[in-house]
Amino acid sequence: MDATGTSQRSVGTSLDVWKGATSRPSLLLLRNGDTSFLSPLPLWERARVRGVSRCAAAALALLALSACGNIEPWVKPYERQALADPIMSLDPNPVSSAYIDHVYEAREGARGALGSSGGGCGCN
């Protein structure tokens, strides 16, 4: 029931099953017409290859994101006069928004994704 315990439970994946598998696939792993067991590679080897593929995909994603750093800004700095106006600030008065967020958080079940936080509530 504790948060750490559930976290450990939830991140467990089918890879844990693969590690303990032999070269003969268990029927438990055959679902949705999966024919991957026909591969000549043993299961643990295929799991390793799959892991490497994931790492490669992640590296490619990182590279793609890094390359985005060279994107030409479509709104030039000299075109941002309106955006620099104080009335366009997403959080123009932090002292006020923190207060009103706290008022709502104490009286409503929802919380988070607001950009401010605080403890206690005095809400009984």
Partner 1 sequence: MHDASVSDGGHFRAAILALLSLLAMTLLPLASDAGVLPEDRADLLYHRYDGGGVTIHGPSLLVRKTMAEKYSVSANYYMDMVTSASIDVQVSGASEYKEERNQYSLGFDYLRGKTTYSVGFTNSDEDDYKAKTASFNISQDLFGDLTTVTMGFSRGSDTVRRRDTITDRIDNNFSEPVERWSYRVGVSQILTRTTIMSLGLEVITDQGYLNNPYRSFRYVDPENDTQYKLATEIYPHTRTSNAVSLNARYFLPYRAAIHGGYRFFTDTWGIGANTFEVGYVHPLKATPWTFEASFRYYDQSRADFYSDLFPSIDFQNFMGRDKELSTFTSKSLHLGASYEFAKTGWRFVKRGTVNLYYDRMQFDYDDFRDARNRSLAAGTEPLYSFGANVFQCFVSVWF
Give me the least distance between CB of 45 and partner 1, in Å please. Answer: 25
Question: Which of left, alpha, beta for 91 (phi over 0: left; psi -120 to 50: alpha)?
Answer: beta
Q: Which residue's CB is nearer to partner 1, number 38 or number 71?
A: 71
Burial of 34 (0-12, 13-18, 19+ CB in 10 A): exposed
One-letter amino acid of 65: L
Judged by CB, which is closer to partner 1: 23, or 93?
Answer: 93
To the nearest whole angstrom, how small is the minimum distance from the Cβ of residue 47 to partner 1? Answer: 19
Q: How far is the CB of 42 from partner 1 (least distance, A)?
A: 28
Q: Cβ distance 95 to 119 under 8 Å?
A: no
User: Could you list the residues that contact partner 1 (CB under 8 A)?
Assistant: 1-3, 6-7, 9-11, 58, 61-62, 65-66, 68-69, 71-75, 77, 79-80, 82-83, 85, 87-88, 90, 93-96, 98-100, 103-104, 106-115, 117-120, 122-124
Cα angle 87, 69, 50 (rounded to 5 degrees) comes to 120
For partner 1, the closer CB: 30 or 63: 63
Rounded alpha-carbon distances, angstroms, from residue 105 to 40, 95, 96, 115: 57, 16, 14, 12
For residue 44, the minimal CB distance to partner 1 (Å) is: 23
